């Protein structure tokens, strides 16, 4: 695959204050798992990444997400603060930032054969692991099949990472820059082990462009990526994430169609079980008057990605609102966004909504863990 981030550099910038356990550090993986992320503008890519650390640390998963370099660490710190403390969404991504290099530390229960002792049967025991993530958060416009969208997504100003571009991983600091950036993005995605495709039902109703964003990028990746060893499809694992599950438009539909698992999870947060996510995806628009993009999307997904290497998730980066007093999900008051106005023509992108309460991501870490755990397997 292409351009692996030099592991040495990544490790050298890992902050020491990670609270390393007394146990000997887990063996570093041979190479980072590259996970690519794509989807239409405003479908929630950056927020997804920003919620990843909160999901890791507060979602009951017992994993840690840390940056491998200054820019990656700052991204985690900045976005976590914005979501949690300021209760604001992250700004729209304006140009292609440097790659995000993160380490995911966790433990996994595995059957392992003890290395010493008389009885060397396999036992179930927690095994620490570390996954190196190499991600790229592109402006959604770059995935567009319409050239004018790609142009507007790459303004020359507003570099979110510009202040830290110099600290970024070498060679990928060229933020925008038209064809260069696009080529970098496509090469990154093609070289990924796993791909996250984000589908935003609330955008789809209005824009109806998810398929356009999907298929152009898939074709570009195909150009570079070759095929899987087992079938003629792309070698990538694909996590399809139906985003903004917390939004009433998505949530109410899921409830009505009976996809919402009785809330057993933390704070009673509802979710759609992974096993039924595809079904829900197929049912999203069934029987409504809206144009149904799911069929064409599914056809595209199935023709390019192996069925066994594809999974579906119903996600929410911010989760549902919890009343500070009750501190539980309440069906009559779960909306976690509040639309804001400045009295003019409406507020721009990230200022349009404020986050009402705590951020409690749903199914954000899961697809990443799945991809991380499966990379390299057929």
Ligand X SMILES: Nc1nc2c(ncn2[C@@H]2O[C@H](COP(=O)(O)OP(=O)(O)OP(=O)(O)O)[C@@H](O)[C@H]2O)c(=O)[nH]1
Give the x/- contact pattern for other proteins in 218-257, rule: CB under 8 A. -----------------------------xxx--x-----
Q: Per DSSP, which regions of 73-119 are E strands?
A: 100-112
Our finding on whether 267 is near ligand X (CB under 6 A) is: no
Pick the closer one to ligand X by CB: 10 or 318.
Answer: 318
Task: Find the helix packing angle between 45-58 and 365-374, rounded to 10°.
Answer: 90
Could you tell me if 33 and 375 are in contact, meaning their C-beta atoms sit under 8 angstroms apart?
yes
User: Which DSSP helix (H) or strand (E) runs through 221?
Assistant: helix 210-225
Our finding on whether 326 is near other proteins (CB under 8 A) is: no
Our finding on whether 89 is near ligand X (CB under 6 A) is: yes
Could you tell me if 224 and 63 are in contact, meaning their C-beta atoms sit under 8 angstroms apart?
no
Our finding on whether 46 is near ligand X (CB under 6 A) is: yes
How big is the chain by its Cα radius of gyration, in Å?
20
Task: Characterize the bridge pairing of strands 123-136 and 100-112.
Answer: antiparallel
CA distance 146 to 213: 9
| Candidate residues 5, 10, 36, 42; the one interacting with ligand X per rule CB under 6 A | 42
Instruction: Mark the segment that binds other proteins (CB under 8 A) among 6-14, 41-49, 55-63, 332-340.
Output: 332-340
CB of 123 to Mg ion, least distance (A): 44
Pick the closer one to Mg ion by CB: 45 or 184.
Answer: 45
Q: Which of residues 302-331 bind ligand X (CB under 6 A)?
A: 316-318
Q: Which residue, among 275, 287, 283, has the nearest Cα to 257 in the 3D structure?
A: 283
Instruction: Mark the segment that binds other proteins (CB under 8 A) among 136-144, 148-156, 259-267, 330-338.
Output: 330-338
CB of 147 to other proteins, least distance (A): 30
Instruction: Mark the segment that binds ligand X (CB under 6 A) among 25-33, 41-49, 291-299, 306-314.
Output: 41-49
Q: Which residue, among 197, 313, 316, has the nearest Cα to 248 in the 3D structure?
A: 316
Task: Find the helix packing angle between 294-304 and 274-283, rounded to 10°.
Answer: 130
CB of 332 to other proteins, least distance (A): 4
Q: Which of residues 84-113 bind other proteins (CB under 8 A)?
A: 87
Our finding on whether 220 is near ligand X (CB under 6 A) is: no
CA distance 275 to 279: 8
Give the x/- contact pattern for other proteins in 302-321, rule: CB under 8 A. -------------------x
Q: Which residue, among 301, 273, 54, 63, has the nearest Cα to 196 in the 3D structure?
A: 301
| Candidate residues 19, 343, 345, 377; the one interacting with other proteins per rule CB under 8 A | 343
Our finding on whether 346 is near other proteins (CB under 8 A) is: yes
CB of 338 to other proteins, least distance (A): 5
Count CB atoms within 10 A of the CB of residue 375.
Answer: 19
Could you tell me if 244 and 250 are in contact, meaning their C-beta atoms sit under 8 angstroms apart?
yes
Sign of CA dihedral 249, 366, 263, 353: negative
**Contact footprint for other proteins (CB under 8 A):** 87, 202, 205, 247-249, 252, 321, 324, 332-335, 337-344, 346-347, 351-352, 354, 356-357
């Amino acid at each position: 695959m292409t351009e692996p981030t030099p592991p040495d550099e990544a490790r050298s910038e890992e902050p020491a204050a990670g609270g390393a356990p007394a146990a000997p550090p887990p063996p570093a993986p041979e190479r980072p798992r590259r996970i690519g992320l794509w989807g239409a503008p405003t479908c929630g890519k950056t927020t997804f990444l920003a919620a990843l650390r909160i999901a890791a640390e507060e979602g009951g998963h017992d994993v840690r997400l840390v940056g491998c370099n200054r820019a990656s660490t700052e991204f985690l710190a900045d976005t976590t603060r914005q979501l949690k403390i300021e209760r604001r969404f992250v700004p729209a991504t304006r140009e292609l930032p440097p790659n995000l290099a993160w380490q995911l530390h966790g433990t996994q229960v595995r059957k392992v054969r003890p290395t010493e002792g008389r009885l060397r049967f396999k036992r179930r025991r927690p095994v620490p692991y570390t996954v190196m993530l190499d991600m790229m958060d592109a402006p959604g416009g770059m995935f567009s099949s319409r050239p004018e969208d790609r142009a507007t997504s790459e303004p020359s100003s507003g570099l979110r990472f510009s202040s830290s571009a110099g600290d970024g991983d070498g060679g990928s600091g060229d933020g925008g820059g038209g064809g260069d950036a696009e080529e970098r993005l496509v090469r990154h995605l093609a070289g990924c082990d796993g791909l996250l495709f984000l589908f935003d039902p609330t955008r789809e109703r209005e824009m109806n462009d998810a398929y356009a964003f999907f298929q152009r990028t898939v074709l570009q990746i195909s150009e570079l990526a070759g095929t899987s060893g087992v079938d003629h499809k792309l070698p990538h694992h694909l996590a399809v994430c139906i985003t903004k599950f917390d939004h009433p438009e998505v949530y109410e539909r899921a409830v009505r169609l009976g996809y919402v698992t009785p809330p057993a999870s933390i704070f009673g947060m509802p979710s759609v079980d992974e096993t039924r996510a595809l079904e829900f995806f197929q049912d999203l628009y069934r029987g409504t008057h809206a144009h149904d993009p799911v069929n064409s999307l599914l056809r595209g997904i199935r023709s390019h990605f192996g069925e066994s290497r594809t999974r579906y998730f119903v996600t929410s980066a911010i989760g549902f609102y919890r009343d500070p007093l009750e501190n539980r999900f309440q069906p009559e008051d779960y909306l976690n966004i509040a639309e804001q106005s400045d009295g003019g023509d409406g507020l721009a992108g990230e200022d349009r909504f404020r986050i009402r309460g705590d951020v409690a991501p749903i199914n954000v870490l899961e697809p990443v863990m799945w991809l991380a755990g499966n990379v390299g397997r057929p």
